[in-house]
């Protein structure tokens, strides 16, 4: 394996200094091969290598060398907002060379004109896809694209968007980065890129299984034929203890939130030696002070971290997740028990990874009986081994017996991940793709749309079949007009700009055009029932109780199909959650009443904010004035979780639902009242905040004058 000293690189001295200031003296084998394959000369590359092998630095060198040599702008694209924030922090270092680094994600109904002043932009695939539809002038200046975590092309949910973005830039300056891709030759050919592929890792990885051997003991067998025997009554607890005794940290992956939480509690109860640690006590107190989390969550985690243990999943608030990640990186929290989302979301290595389950829940066949993909296991295992701390990382899978161990070894440890395939092969994804092409081009012939579609990874016969059906469907439902020359209708343009699924738009259109105005729950249920709506699990007890609790007739009739009825009730549960939210029900009560976490609530609010805004715009473009009015008020209330009477107050920065209610109950009901009662506002909110709020209120009034 070749390591390349920085001095041998033909790059600007200022770049060398920045790299050396970061402690980088030489490039590792992956980075060296990328250089040898033309990274600094704008060669199009597909780099596939394990997690933690330094792919971000490859992207940085590619971006900076391009900007220095050619000018223009560069975009670094990630699949997740958490990764976008992480990469933004890392790339900010290049502002030392005078380049401005910006970040954008979310809020799809804008062209982000302010980015014209930035040189390096970090964003998500969805945001870039939405920007292409609006065609801002600054986007034409971007001539270098980094496609990070490119194996997300295989993800059923995000894959279609990743592919849509890749299709547009297959002939531009491109650098795709990915974990190991089995069919990298096929994918690199599709991207018109040179493959750079290696299994090199900065910390070697041992993979194995843990098997019950005899009473109170387990055997760990690794792929290199090493084995160890450990004692204990539970495989996970036994291996956690083993790692901690040898000075390591552990990531445990479980297949559900409840199991992750209960496993964390079991581990914590077994770790009395950390109970009196003063630093852990400080972390516990910090958790109690988090603003965006429910009381029960905070109390539970505050107790756990006293033992050096935490759980981590999407149900937790961002504030809680940030604290857990921060102190795990600082090695103060020793064990995290997580759901698999953590494996893809953030760079959080540990010496040892324990994969507690190779099965996940499948509602269609009712149970934890669907085996996870190999790629998902590889993502989890890839977190094992901390550069600078560990000589090697260990990833083990918990199995029940020897026969299962043999099968698991063969499938997950000795086999490569599944080949990457197109995920555009369904109506919703493909029709969205066509709509996006017509939107970004403005006017396009059906032959040009076919050229774009033939540039996807889909089988060409499937493309032809979907293309004909898709164009007819989009015409029939008034998204596009024209036979050979295709343009968006006014309705189609608004849908494309909103970045909603065309089937979501059709759902809005179908139900709103044939129904009169109804109550808030009916509108919220309609939003949640669309293909873009948030999904929540529904227990058997809730199935019919929720239907009985609906305060008014819904726009949508109860379906007869069992699966569709589940979706119907799930949407109703979301509607009830948001209705409680806008009626200012206390957050702790909402979390307890519906069995959700604060992270779930925030995610539901964000999605329903977008969908009520979309409902308003769809109603307006269809000239449905009463529905537009209802959606407009609803959208203003959803974002902050307020009754209608507080809408004016929350327009003032720094005033949320709780402060607005406090002011309202003290007869301060609009921004003008704040200006007229500054001393009273200061006494209610505190002197410093009250002063700031008064100034912001004055600015709002002046802006409306």
* Shared domain check, 542 and 435: no
* Shared domain check, 328 and 235: yes
* Shared domain check, 529 and 611: yes
* Shared domain check, 10 and 109: yes
* Shared domain check, 513 and 400: no
Residue 418 placed within a domain: no
Structure tokens at 138: 């600054």
Q: Are 256 and 314 in contact (CB under 8 A)?
A: no
Among 447, 472, 498, the domain boundary falls at 498
Where does residue 341 rank: exposed (0-12), middle (13-18), buried (19+ CB within 10 A)? middle
Question: Does residue 367 carry a pLDDT above 70?
Answer: no
Number of domains in the chain: 5
Convert the pLDDT of each residue in 257-298 to its tens digit: 999 999 999 999 987 545 558 899 999 999 999 999 999 999
Residue 452 placed within a domain: yes
Annotated binding residues: 31
**Mean pLDDT along residues 89-94:** 95
Which residues does residue 398 pair with via DSSP β-bridges, in sequence order?
210
Among 470, 498, 526, the domain boundary falls at 498
* Shared domain check, 168 and 32: yes
CATH number reported for the structural domain that contains residue 531 in this entry? 1.10.3380.30
* Whether the model pTM is above 0.75: yes
Contacts of 633 (CB under 8 A, 6+ apart): 644, 647
* Shared domain check, 461 and 370: no
Q: How far is CA 222 from CA 51, 211, 242, 400, 650, in A?
A: 20, 11, 15, 16, 58
Give the whole-angstrom CA distance, residue 378 versus residue 398.
15
Print the domain residue range for 445.
427-498
Residue 420 placed within a domain: no
Annotated binding residues for ATP: 31
Give me the percent of the chain exceeding a pLDDT of 90. 82
The distance from CA 538 to its chain's CA centroid, rounded to whole angstroms, is 23
CATH number reported for the structural domain that contains residue 698 in this entry? 1.10.150.20
Q: Are 292 and 265 in contact (CB under 8 A)?
A: no
Give the whole-angstrom CA distance, residue 148 versus residue 122.
11
* Shared domain check, 277 and 142: no
Question: Does residue 705 carry a pLDDT above 80?
Answer: no
Structure tokens at 389: 């701390």
Please report the sign of the dihedral spanned by the C-alpha atoms of residue 176, residue 180, residue 185, residue 186. negative
Question: Does residue 93 carry a pLDDT above 70?
Answer: yes
* Shared domain check, 506 and 521: yes
* Shared domain check, 170 and 60: yes
Residue 535 placed within a domain: yes
Phi, psi of 146 (to 5 degrees): -105, 125
Give the whole-angstrom CA distance, residue 44 versus residue 38.
8
CATH number reported for the structural domain that contains residue 275 in this entry? 3.40.50.300
Give me the percent of the chain exceeding a pLDDT of 70. 98
Convert the pLDDT of each residue in 474-521 to its tens digit: 999 999 999 889 999 999 999 999 999 999 999 999 999 999 999 999
Query: What pLDDT does residue 625 have?
Result: 97
* Shared domain check, 169 and 53: yes
Query: What pLDDT does residue 191 have?
Result: 95
The distance from CA 604 to its chain's CA centroid, rounded to whole angstroms, is 13
Give the whole-angstrom CA distance, residue 7 versus residue 101.
27
Give the single-character DSSP code of 139. G
Residue 419 placed within a domain: no
Rg (CA), the chain: 27
Query: What pLDDT does residue 646 have?
Result: 96
* Shared domain check, 404 and 475: no
Q: How far is CA 412 from CA 142, 207, 209, 540, in A?
A: 40, 9, 10, 35
Among 498, 527, 547, the domain boundary falls at 498
Structure tokens at 304: 């756990």
Query: What pLDDT does residue 454 have?
Result: 95
């Amino acid at each position: 394996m070749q390591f390349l000293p920085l001095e041998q690189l033909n790059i600007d001295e200022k770049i060398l200094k920045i790299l050396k200031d970061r402690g980088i003296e030489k490039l590792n084998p992956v980075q060296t091969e990328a250089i040898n394959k033309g990274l600094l000369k704008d060669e199009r590359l597909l780099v596939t290598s394990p997690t933690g092998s330094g792919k971000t630095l490859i992207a940085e060198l590619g971006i900076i060398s391009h900007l220095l040599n050619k000018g223009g702008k560069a975009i670094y694209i990630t699949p997740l907002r958490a990764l976008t924030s992480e990469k933004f922090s890392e790339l900010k270092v290049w502002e030392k060379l005078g380049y401005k680094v910006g970040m954008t994600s979310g809020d799809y109904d804008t062209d982000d004109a302010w980015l014209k002043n930035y040189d390096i932009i970090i964003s998500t695939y969805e945001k870039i896809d939405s920007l292409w539809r609006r065609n801002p002038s600054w986007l034409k200046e971007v001539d270098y694209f980094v496609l990070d975590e490119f194996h997300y092309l295989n993800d059923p949910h995000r894959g279609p968007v990743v592919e849509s973005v890749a299709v547009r830039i297959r002939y531009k300056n491109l650098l795709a980065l990915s974990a190991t891709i089995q069919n990298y030759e096929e994918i690199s050919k599709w991207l018109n890129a040179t493959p750079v592929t290696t299994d090199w890792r900065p910390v070697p990885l041992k993979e194995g299984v843990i098997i019950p051997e005899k009473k109170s003991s387990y055997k760990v067998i690794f792929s290199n034929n090493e084995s160890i025997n450990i004692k204990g009554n539970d495989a996970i607890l036994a291996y956690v203890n083993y790692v901690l005794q040898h000075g390591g940290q552990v990531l445990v992956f479980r297949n559900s939130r409840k199991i992750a939480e209960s496993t964390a509690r079991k581990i914590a109860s077994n770790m009395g030696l950390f109970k009196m640690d003063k630093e852990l006590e400080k972390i516990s107190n910090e958790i109690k002070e988090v603003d965006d989390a429910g009381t029960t969550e905070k109390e539970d985690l505050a107790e756990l971290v006293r033992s050096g243990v935490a759980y981590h999943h999407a149900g937790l608030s961002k504030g809680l997740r940030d604290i857990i990640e921060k102190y795990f990186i600082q090695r103060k929290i020793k064990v995290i028990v997580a759901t698999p989302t953590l494996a893809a979301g953030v760079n959080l290595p540990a010496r040892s990874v324990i994969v507690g389950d190779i099965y996940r829940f499948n509602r269609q066949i009712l149970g934890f009986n669907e085996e996870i993909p190999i790629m998902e296991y590889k993502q989890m295992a890839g977190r094992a081994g901390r550069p600078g701390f560990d000589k090697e990382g260990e990833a083990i899978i918990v199995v029940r017996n020897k026969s299962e161990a043999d099968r698991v070894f063969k499938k997950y440890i000795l086999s490569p991940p599944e080949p990457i395939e197109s995920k555009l092969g369904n109506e919703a994804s493909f029709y969205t793709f066509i709509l996006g092409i017509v939107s970004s081009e403005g006017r396009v012939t059906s032959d040009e749309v076919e050229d774009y579609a033939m540039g996807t990874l889909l089988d060409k016969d499937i493309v032809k079949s979907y293309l004909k059906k898709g164009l007819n469907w989009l015409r029939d439902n008034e998204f596009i007009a024209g036979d050979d020359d295709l343009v968006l209708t006014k309705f189609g343009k608004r849908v494309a700009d909103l970045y909603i699924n065309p089937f979501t738009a059709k759902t809005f259109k179908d139900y709103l055009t044939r129904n009169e105005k109804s109550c808030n729950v009916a509108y919220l249920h309609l939003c949640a029932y669309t293909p873009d709506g948030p999904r929540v699990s529904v227990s058997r007890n809730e199935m019919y109780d929720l239907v009985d609790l609906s305060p008014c007739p819904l726009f949508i009739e109860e379906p007869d199909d069992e699966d569709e009825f589940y979706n119907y009730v799930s949407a109703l549960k979301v509607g009830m959650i948001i209705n409680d939210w806008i009626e200012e029900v206390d957050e702790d009560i909402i979390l307890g009443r519906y069995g959700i976490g604060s992270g779930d609530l925030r995610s539901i609010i964000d999605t329903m904010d977008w969908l009520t805004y979309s409902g308003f715009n769809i109603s307006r473009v269809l000239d449905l004035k009463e529905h537009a009015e209802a959606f407009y008020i609803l959208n203003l209330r959803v974002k902050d979780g307020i009754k209608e009477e507080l809408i004016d107050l929350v327009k003032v920065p720094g005033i949320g639902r709780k402060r607005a209610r406090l002011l309202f109950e003290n007869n301060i009901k609009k921004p003008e009242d704040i200006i007229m009662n500054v001393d009273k506002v200061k006494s209610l909110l505190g002197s410093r905040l009250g002063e700031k709020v008064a100034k912001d209120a004055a600015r709002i009034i002046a802006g409306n004058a």
